[in-house]
Amino acid sequence: MTATIALVDDDRNILTSVSIALQAEGFVTRVYSDGEAALKALVDNPPDLAVLDVKMPKMDGLELLRRLREKSQIPVIFLTSKDDELDEALGLAMGADDYIAKPFSQRLLIARIRAILRRTEALAAPVGEEPAQEVQPVLERGPLTMDPARHKVTWKGDTVTLTVTEFMILETLAQRPGIVKTRNQLMDAAYQDDIYVDDRTIDSHIKRVRRKFRQVDPEFDAIETLYGAGYRFSDE
């Protein structure tokens, strides 16, 4: 079944170019130029996923997501200003599934959309019925539990909310505790389809993951940095 993606942005150029790129990948698209116009449509006729810009007139993306979450749990990706951690933190706290900083690669956006839709499909599969794609088993490493099918992470029983990218990076590290993963290896896991990103982007993701875990456990130190080599996960 063809997935429908809603795009909400006051930049007409972004709406047009991203819509064309998504349609070329087989998606159906709906476009909205402001949050007020989008809200009713997203509630009355929910798409499979929505991409929301944060900075918009009338109703910004954060307010749109807040009001949307009162009535719908459709997956949401935020488009944020570069390095705007406040927007990211607020959006994830209100229920966004991932965020991408502008300017962004359309290939990266499409990869993130596909990753979220795969996880949504697995989560929606009826109990006892296997989803269309093979689902990885729950991963347990010491106090860490990761459920890829449900995109759920807990540390010592407390939930830690990660974006899709952060989840993939942590999963790659936790699959082989004690083994050092280079930035390139982590990029390959998190950014598929030959998408190029600066390797320092991985450092930023690791920083955010650590911060999120330390919000539930100030003593969290399971992700170790090996300067000049990469990162490793310790379950000791």
Average model confidence (pLDDT) across the chain = 84
Q: In what order do the strands lie in the sheet with 144-147?
A: 139-141, 144-147, 152-155, 158-159
Whole-number Cα distances in Å, 223 to 39, 85, 90, 205: 40, 21, 24, 12
**Domain ranges within the chain, ordered by starting residue:** 4-124, 139-233
Whole-number Cα distances in Å, 60 to 49, 177, 193: 18, 42, 31
User: Domain 139-233 is of which CATH architecture?
Assistant: Orthogonal Bundle (1.10)
Give per-residue pLDDT as tens, 208-235: 899 999 999 999 999 999 988 999 999 8
Give per-residue pLDDT as tens, 36-92: 889 999 999 999 999 999 888 888 888 999 899 888 888 899 888 755 665 666 666
Give per-residue pLDDT as tens, 174-211: 999 999 999 888 887 776 554 555 556 788 889 889 99
CA separation for the pair 214, 96 (Å, rounded): 20
CA separation for the pair 201, 85 (Å, rounded): 14
Enumerate the H helices of 94-199 as residue ranges: 106-124, 164-175, 183-190
Q: Is the pTM of this model over 0.85?
A: no
Task: Kindly report the CATH class assigned to 4-124.
Answer: alpha beta
